[in-house]
């Protein structure tokens, strides 16, 4: 048995234990411990990548240890990685150290608790992407909820309690339904092991529409899909910068990933039947999120609604069910994590300086903070889908694949979603203009300081990846596509079998 994935998943807990040894006053020691721990986890994720064979479509580095049998159904400690999850794992391990580094100065109180929760969260997220047993997945899924709840509720802004509770209640509402689905499947299928359930899915195929909906409830709220998105703007606005980065960068992806990992292979007939409806909601999300973003006065809210739009693209790509659109969706999940993560980081850097996120408190500051402005423009353009940067590759392949999708059967879904590309330029350039362009409108901004070395170091790795994916995406597609082709082949078989 290969222990790489177990090591990777639980490596943050080593940092967690070391953190316990320090006192709250040793703030820098706490910060360094958390950073080094997350960097070690990142190194482990690269090690996993090195062992990963891109050409093999199935699960790799598998761990499978039967654990317990409940009412005739086996729960196992089963993990594995494939093309659907490898990039999510890397993204998580990549963003966590950057998020920790970004909190170096902005989190001054209760540093110990903050770092403890952060490392717990990382284990939870990695577990979600690696678990191959439904119960194990559910435990990790719920487990991420708690640290994020506290990160928002304790280190958040003024309305943090409201936002944290809202985040919690929305997510729990979906999770409850998913739990029912998990139990039903496990008890009828006699196992909770995902690969075993996929090959034995006849056992619960009769109820698959309902099961699809039960899982979809949890995942759609997490993504979030329109109209279940209203927790997101509140959560983002109140969350501390690092919380927003991880929330947008990784937690939302758990929703989209859940669809890929569970709904598509477990309920292929239901997927095919419901795909047009899911795609329609996705397209509404694309357009709606873009329109609503345009009228936000708070930068963080604007970026939050832009996530609704961007994840609409991801969901469209998933339910268009073509190889191109699915691969594009997975890459776009990474892209969104990078671009939106970077946007939140930069907004956080502005907030650290001026303690406001209202756009009208800025205006014309590019002259004052040239480096900050240039990096913001770079990230904004990546988010707007400019060719040469990452966002374009994802959006283009999603739309290209969705346009000629046989499942959706007509080009209108992608056609309307393409409007989102136009609208994204509107809200993003309006934001850039309001904050950075024009004359300097507020005297107090004259003394704003440009980025310091630590801040540049936080952003540079993200910018490098944005450029890499934009210029040479084929490396990333080579990781994704074999697994996607395996998935679409299974769906293809289901669609042939359908009456």
Closest approach of Cβ 205 to another protein, in Å?
27
Q: Which of residues 38-97 bind another protein (CB under 8 A)?
A: 67-68, 70, 75
The 144-183 contact track toward another protein, x by CB under 8 A, reads -xx--xx--x-------x--xxx-xxx-xx--x-------
52 close to 60: Cβ distance less than 8 angstroms:
yes
Positive or negative CA dihedral for 67, 128, 6, 37? negative
The 427-466 contact track toward another protein, x by CB under 8 A, reads --xx--x--xxxxx--------------------------
Chain-centre distance for alpha carbon 289: 17
Q: Quick one: which of 10, 32, 143, 184 contacts another protein (CB under 8 A)?
A: 143
**328 in contact with another protein (CB under 8 A):** yes
Q: Which of residues 98-117 bind another protein (CB under 8 A)?
A: none
**425 in contact with another protein (CB under 8 A):** yes
The 251-290 contact track toward another protein, x by CB under 8 A, reads -------------------------------------x--
The 202-241 contact track toward another protein, x by CB under 8 A, reads -------------------x-----xx-xx----------
Q: Quick one: which of 7, 213, 323, 371 contacts another protein (CB under 8 A)?
A: 323
Q: Quick one: which of 26, 36, 142, 207 contacts another protein (CB under 8 A)?
A: 142
The 335-364 contact track toward another protein, x by CB under 8 A, reads -----------------------------x
Tokens of 238: 């109140």
Q: Which stretch binds another protein (CB under 8 A): 21-29, 101-109, 200-208, 471-479?
A: 471-479
Determine the size of the site formed for another protein (CB under 8 A): 77
């Amino acid at each position: 048995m290969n222990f790489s994935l177990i090591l990777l998943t639980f490596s943050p807990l080593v940092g967690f234990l070391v953190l316990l040894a320090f006192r709250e006053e040793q703030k820098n020691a706490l910060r360094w411990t958390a950073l080094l721990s997350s960097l070690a986890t990142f190194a482990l994720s690269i090690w996993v990548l090195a062992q990963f064979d891109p050409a093999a479509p199935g699960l790799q580095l598998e761990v499978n240890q039967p654990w317990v049998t409940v009412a005739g159904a086996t729960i196992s400690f089963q993990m594995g990685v494939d093309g659907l999850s490898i990039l999510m794992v890397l993204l998580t391990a990549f963003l966590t150290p950057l998020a920790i580094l970004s909190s170096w100065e902005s989190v001054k109180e209760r540093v110990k608790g903050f770092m403890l929760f952060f490392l717990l969260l990382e284990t939870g997220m990695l577990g979600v992407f690696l678990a191959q047993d439904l119960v194990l997945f559910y435990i990790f899924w719920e487990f991420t909820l708690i640290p994020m709840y506290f990160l928002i509720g304790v280190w958040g802004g003024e309305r943090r309690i409201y936002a944290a509770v809202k985040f919690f209640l929305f997510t729990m509402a979906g999770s409850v339904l998913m739990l029912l689905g998990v139990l039903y499947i496990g008890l009828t299928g006699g196992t909770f092991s995902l690969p075993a359930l996929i090959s034995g899915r006849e056992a619960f195929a009769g109820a698959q529409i309902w099961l699809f909906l039960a899982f979809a409830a949890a995942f759609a709220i997490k993504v979030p899909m329109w109209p279940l998105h209203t927790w997101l703007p509140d959560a983002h606005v109140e969350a501390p910068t690092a919380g927003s980065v991880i929330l947008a960068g990784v937690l939302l992806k758990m929703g989209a990933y859940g669809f890929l990992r569970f709904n598509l292979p477990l309920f292929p007939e239901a997927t095919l039947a419901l795909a047009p409806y899911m795609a329609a909601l996705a397209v509404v999300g694309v357009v709606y999120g873009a329109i609503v973003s345009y009228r936000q006065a708070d930068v963080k809210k604007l970026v939050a609604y832009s996530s609704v739009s961007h994840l609409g693209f991801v969901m469209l790509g998933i339910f268009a069910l073509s190889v191109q659109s699915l691969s594009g969706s997975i890459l776009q999940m990474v892209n969104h994590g990078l671009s939106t993560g970077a946007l939140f980081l930069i907004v956080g850097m502005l907030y650290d300086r001026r303690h406001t996120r209202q756009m009208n408190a800025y205006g014309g500051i590019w002259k004052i903070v040239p480096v900050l402005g240039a990096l913001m423009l770079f990230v904004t353009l990546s988010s707007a889908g400019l060719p040469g940067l990452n966002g374009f590759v994802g959006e283009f392949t999603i739309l290209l694949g969705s346009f000629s999708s046989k499942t959706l059967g007509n080009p209108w879904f992608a056609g309307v979603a393409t409007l989102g590309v136009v609208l994204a330029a509107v809200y993003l350039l309006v934001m850039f203009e309001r904050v950075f362009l024009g004359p300097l409108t507020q005297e107090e901004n004259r003394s704003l300081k440009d980025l310091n070395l630590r801040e540049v170091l936080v952003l540079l790795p993200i910018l490098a990846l944005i450029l890499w994916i934009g210029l040479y995406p084929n490396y990333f597609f080579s990781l994704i596509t074999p697994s996607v082709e395996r998935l679409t082949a299974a769906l293809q078989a289901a669609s042939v079998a359908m009456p």
